[in-house]
């Protein structure tokens, strides 16, 4: 910029682009409206996941098409442990990344129009995260469909702890209601086995409440 006028024009363009993203609620790198931890789903309860490092380090319980069972760990997949935790706690339970929750919430009509026109439908309408884990695991190991070595079933057990608002307000975090749920992903669909033994199909639409992490 060799003159103040050209510098001012550049600054105008710069701020229109970077701050325009804020008004348009764009959250695609390198632009952002900085929503990071801005979403709070206020409900009567708070559900969180009690992790277990030893269970998680062992990995996902997997079954091959030939019936053999094994564990698939972060080291086997060669991915960072934080990402394996997200896979174990969230994706296998069909929970997407948090930006999906933020993207379409409380949209102004103009924002909704441009998102649906240029980006597509709400990503939460057709969640397929659990199935994607199975696809990624097989893809990583190079197993083709029809390969007897391929993984046809994955399982991940996690304890879901639910606090009431009264417990949270009093700081009583020792006595949540705990339910062990096991995500079961197969080639024919994804399921959750609840603590009482009941097996349900994994929800794939927008969930009313979710466990946070």
Q: Which of the residues 67 through 106 are near other proteins (CB under 8 A)?
A: 75-80, 82-83, 85-87, 89-91, 96-99, 102, 105-106
Smaller CB distance to other proteins: residue 110 or 199?
Answer: 110
Q: Per CB under 8 A, which of residues 116..155 are in contact with other proteins?
A: 129, 132-133, 135-136, 139-141
E strands of the chain, at which residues?
45-50, 60-64, 69-72, 151-164, 177-186, 189-193, 199-201
Q: What is the pattern of x (binds other proteins, CB under 8 A) and - over residues 31-50?
A: xxxxxxxxxx-x---x-xxx
For tokens 């924002």, the residue is 111
Which residues make beta-bridge pairs with 191?
184, 201
Q: Give the one residue of 44, 53, 144, 146 binding other proteins; rule: CB under 8 A.
A: 53
Applying CB under 8 A, does 183 fall inside the site for other proteins? no
| 78 vs 198 by CB, closer to other proteins | 78
Can you read off the two tokens belonging to residue 49?
Answer: 């996941």
Q: Could you say whether residue 169 binds other proteins (CB under 8 A)?
A: yes
Asked if 80 and 109 touch (Cβ cutoff 8 Å), the reply is no
Separation between Cα atoms, residue 211 and residue 48, nearest integer Å: 5
Nearest distance, CB of residue 66 and other proteins, angstroms: 20
- Name the one residue in this structure whose structure tokens are 């062990």: 180
Show contacts with other proteins in window 104-123 (CB under 8 A).
105-106
How many residues of this chain bind other proteins (CB under 8 A)? 75
State which residue, 14 or 148, has the beta carbon closest to other proteins: 14
- How many Å apart are CA 159 and CA 72, to the nearest integer? 20
Beta bridge partners of 179: 160
């Amino acid at each position: 910029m060799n003159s103040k006028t050209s510098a001012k024009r550049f600054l105008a363009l710069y701020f229109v682009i970077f701050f325009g993203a804020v008004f348009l609620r764009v959250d695609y790198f390198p632009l952002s409206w900085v929503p990071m931890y801005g979403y709070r789903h206020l409900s009567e309860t708070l559900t969180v996941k009690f992790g277990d490092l030893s269970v998680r380090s062992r990995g996902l319980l997997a079954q091959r098409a030939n019936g053999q069972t094994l564990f698939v760990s972060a080291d086997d997949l060669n991915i960072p442990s934080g990402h394996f935790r997200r896979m174990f706690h969230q994706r296998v339970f069909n929970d997407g990344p948090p930006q999906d929750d933020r993207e379409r919430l409380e949209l102004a009509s103009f924002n909704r129009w441009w998102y649906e026109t240029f980006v597509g439908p709400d990503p939460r309408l057709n969640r397929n995260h659990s199935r994607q884990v199975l696809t990624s695991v097989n893809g990583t190991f190079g197993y083709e469909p029809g390969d007897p070595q391929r993984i046809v079933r994955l399982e991940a057990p996690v304890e879901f702890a639910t606090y009431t608002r009264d417990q949270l307000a009093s700081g009583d975090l020792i006595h949540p209601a705990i339910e062990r749920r096991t995500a079961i992903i197969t080639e024919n669909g994804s399921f959750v086995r609840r603590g009482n033994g009941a097996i349900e199909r994994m929800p794939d639409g927008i969930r009313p409440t979710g466990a946070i992490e």
